[in-house]
Amino acid sequence: MLTLDSVSVTRGGVPVLDDVSLALGRGQAVVLRGPNGSGKTTLLRTVAGLQPPAAGRIEGAERVAYAGHADGLKASLSAAENLRFWVSAFGTHDILPALAAFDLEALADRRAGEMSAGQKRRLGLARMLVTGRPVWVLDEPTVSLDTTSVGLFAKAVSDHLEKGGAALIATHIDLGLPDTRTLDVTPYRARPRAAAADEAFL
Amino acid sequence: MSLWEYANPVKFIRLADRMLPPVAVLALLCLVVGLVWGFFFTPDDYRQGSTVKIIYLHVPSALMAINAWLMMLVASLIWIIRRHHVSALAARAAAPVGATMTVIALATGAIWGQPMWGTWWAWDPRLTSFLILFLFYLGYMALWEAIESDDTAADLTAILCLVGSVFAILSRYAVNFWNQGLHQGASLSMDAEENVADVFWLPLLVCMAGFVLLFLALVLLRTQTEIRARRTRALIARERAA
Amino acid sequence: MRALLLRDLALAVRAGGGFGLGLSFFLIVTVLVPFAVGPDTGTLAPIAPGVLWIGALLACLLSLDRILALDWEDGSLDLLATAPLPLEGIVTVKALAHWITTGLPLVAAAPALGVLLSLPGPGYLWLFVSLLLGTPALSVIGTFGAALVVGLKRGGLLMSLLVLPLYVPTLIFGAEVARRGAEGLDVQTPLLMLAGISTGSLALLPFAAAAVLRVNLR
C169–B142: do the CB atoms touch at under 8 Å? no
- Write the burial class of residue B96 (CB in 10 Å: 0-12 exposed, 13-18 middle, 19+ buried): middle
Reply yes or no on whether the pLDDT at B193 is more than 50.
no
Query: Within a domain: residue B2?
Result: no
Residues B195-237 pLDDT 10s: 566 677 888 899 999 999 999 999 999 999 999 988 888 888 7
What is the secondary structure of A127-168 as a DSSP string?
Answer: HHHHH--SEEEEESTTTT--HHHHHHHHHHHHHHHHTT-EEE
Question: Is residue B139, in this structure, part of any structural domain at all?
Answer: yes
Tens digits of per-residue pLDDT, B165-181? 999 999 888 888 887 65
A vs C: CB pairs below 8 A:
71
For chain B, the chains sharing at least 3 beta-carbon pairs closer than 8 angstroms are: A, C
List the single best residue of A11, A14, A198, A202 to mutate versus B (max B Cβ within 10 A).
Answer: A198
Which tens digits make up the pLDDT trace of B66-106?
A: 999 999 999 999 999 988 888 999 999 999 999 999 999 99
Q: How many domains does chain B have?
A: 1
pLDDT, average across residues A51-69: 86
In the DSSP assignment, the letter for residue A197 is G
Q: Domain boundaries in chain A? A: 2-36+46-196
Confidence band (pLDDT; 50, 70, 90) for C121? confident
Measure the CA–CA gap between B20 and B43, rounded to whole angstroms: 35
Q: What is the pLDDT of residue B48?
A: 66
- Residue B179 has a pLDDT of 73
Q: Do B170 and C144 touch (CB under 8 A)?
A: no
Q: Which chains touch C (3 or more CB pairs under 8 A)?
A: A, B
Structural contact between residues B42 and B50, judged by C-beta atoms closer than 8 angstroms? no
- The ipTM, to two decimals, is 0.89
In this predicted structure, the answer to whether residue B183 has a pLDDT above a threshold of 70 is no
CATH fold group of domain A2-36+46-196: Rossmann fold (3.40.50)
| Domain layout of chain C by residue ranges | 2-31+41-217
CA B48 to chain centre: 27
B239: contact with A, CB 8 A cutoff: no
Residue B185 pLDDT exceeds 60: no
pLDDT, tens digit (0-9, with 9 covering 90-100), for A110-122:
888 888 888 888 8
pLDDT one-digit tens code per residue, B7-37: 788 888 888 889 999 999 999 999 999 888 8
Q: Which residues span the domain enclosing B166?
A: 10-241
> Band of the pLDDT at C18, cuts 50, 70, 90?
low
Q: Does C157 touch chain B (CB under 8 A)?
A: no
Residue B3 placed within a domain: no
Nearest to A13 among B149, B227, B231 (CB): B149
Residue in B136, B143, B167 nearest the CB of C169: B167
Using CA coordinates, name the residue in chain A closest to C72. A72
